[in-house]
Amino acid sequence: MPTVLFTSALQRFLPVPSAQVTGGTIAEALAAVFGSEPRLRGYVLDDQGALRRHVAIYVNGRPVSDRARLTDAVAKDDEIYVFQALSGG
């Protein structure tokens, strides 16, 4: 099963432990995580279900290509890393 890991910056707002999930795409893997923590969805995705503009998802160190529908395929040993770029002062 792929593993989903979240930036520690999200831990300030809600519990986001790493999780092994079922799913063949990014969207399916995230849906499995949101099932156990529904609030998390709004932190990662916008109202239309697209990845938030300043949130990134990498799979095994490479950025996903479909940020709108999250259709990139994932395999059972993949690591899906959800993070952001902190900025400002």
Binding site for another protein (CB under 8 A): 9-10, 13-14, 39, 42-44, 46-48, 50, 52, 54-55, 84-88
Q: How far apart are CA 40 and CA 44, in angstroms?
A: 7
Q: Which is nearer to another protein, 9 or 75 (CB)?
A: 9
Q: How far apart are CA 48 and CA 69, in angstroms?
A: 9
Q: Which is nearer to another protein, 14 or 75 (CB)?
A: 14
Q: Which is nearer to another protein, 5 or 50 (CB)?
A: 50
Residue 56 buriedness (CB in 10 A; 0-12 / 13-18 / 19+): middle
Shortest distance (Å) from residue 79 CB to another protein: 21
